[in-house]
Amino acid sequence: MPGLIEHTERYLPIRLFLSGELEAVNEILRRQLASDLPAVNELCRHVARYQGKMLRPTLTLLCGLAARPGSAGQVPEANHSLRVLAAVSEIIHMATLVHDDVLDESRLRRNAPTVNHLRGNEMAVLLGDYLISNAFHLCSTLDRPEINRRIGETTNELCSGELLQIHHRDDWSIDEPTYFAIIERKTASLISLCCRLGAEEAGADPAVADALAAYGSRMGVAFQIQDDLLDLIGEERVVGKSLGRDLEKGKLTLPMIHFFSCAGPTQRMEMLATLADTDAEAWPSRVRSLLLSSGAVTSAHDVAAGLVGEARRELSPLTESPARHLLDDLACAVITRAS
């Protein structure tokens, strides 16, 4: 199975089942995006290379498995709606990656050139629009208006998070509540919805669906904190995408917010001098060493670890099952990943 829980060897039958389901999800996604225009197909094939972790589809499917009432130990059945929902979440995510790369002027994603770098910003803006439109269209084929409505609510939330983030660009006094408001909207809202829809699709009790939505929300925030950490202190070769973009684009994330609240005056002045000269080749490594020595990296990581703990505790109302264990593993993997 591709993705974050690839490394575990436990629960092989369920992992094999999930692996097959993710293949089926990808088939739905490919069919949905197929166009009569070869140029569009070529771009969609390129964007499919960005699909690494498939976190959102995996969560939709796993929550669908874990939340089935009284299903522990049973061999799961294929569920078309669940697969479609998983594909919809992945297409929405792909659209955000394509547009984010335009905004961040990124050149690299999953060790491949970004669409904007390869074909220009115009093509990337339009391809993102094409993906968003196809996500909504695919969702509407389920003939379940309430699902369309909730996906629409969540993408509204997601877009407003991105807008809030850009509104605070170059805001050097951004505080933690604002940072969390941004990432809860732009990242956690969709991840949480994936968990909830997966659970509801499986006929879960409302309390279980709520618990899984809360699990997704906490782990989504932790996931974004780890992303923000990797942007500052990751290895570009390992992460596979352009790094240091947040600072270059004036986006202050949790490690930086912690730095400015916990660093001494000398460190602070050194950081400001470093950031004032991002043309210098060595600036990323100087930022990294300042973040590490100040304790800001550790404290941001601790916040993420605390959220992962909360996410795992949300799983307690679920019956013991391999799927529940995988959800637990997944929450842990979110903050130990190096890419």
Interface residues with a copy of itself (CB under 8 A) are: 35-37, 39-40, 43, 95, 99, 102-103, 121-123, 125-130, 132-134, 136-146, 148-149, 151-153, 155-156, 158-160, 162-164, 166-167, 169
CB of 315 to a copy of itself, least distance (A): 30
47, 48, 53, 55: CA torsion to nearest 10: 90
CB of 125 to a copy of itself, least distance (A): 6
CB of 89 to a copy of itself, least distance (A): 14
CB of 205 to a copy of itself, least distance (A): 25
Q: Which amino acid is at 69?
A: P
**Beta partners for residue 108, in sequence order:** 113
Residue 179 neighbours by CB under 8 Å, 6+ apart:
252, 253, 254, 257
**181's tokens:** 């408001």
CB of 102 to a copy of itself, least distance (A): 6
Nearer residue to a copy of itself within complex by CB, 72 or 103: 103
Nearer residue to a copy of itself within complex by CB, 136 or 260: 136
Task: Report DSSP letters for 109-134, one per residue.
Answer: ETTEE-HHHHHHHHHHHHHHHHHHHH
Helices (H), the chain: 12-33, 38-48, 55-66, 80-104, 115-140, 145-167, 176-183, 189-201, 206-233, 236-239, 245-248, 254-262, 265-275, 283-294, 296-313, 322-336
Q: How far apart are CA 216 and CA 211, in angstroms?
A: 9
**99's tokens:** 């547009």
Strand-strand pairing, 108-109 and 112-113: antiparallel
CB of 96 to a copy of itself, least distance (A): 8
Nearer residue to a copy of itself within complex by CB, 2 or 250: 250
**Beta partners for residue 109, in sequence order:** 112
CB of 264 to a copy of itself, least distance (A): 34
Q: How far apart are CA 320 and CA 142, in angstroms?
A: 30
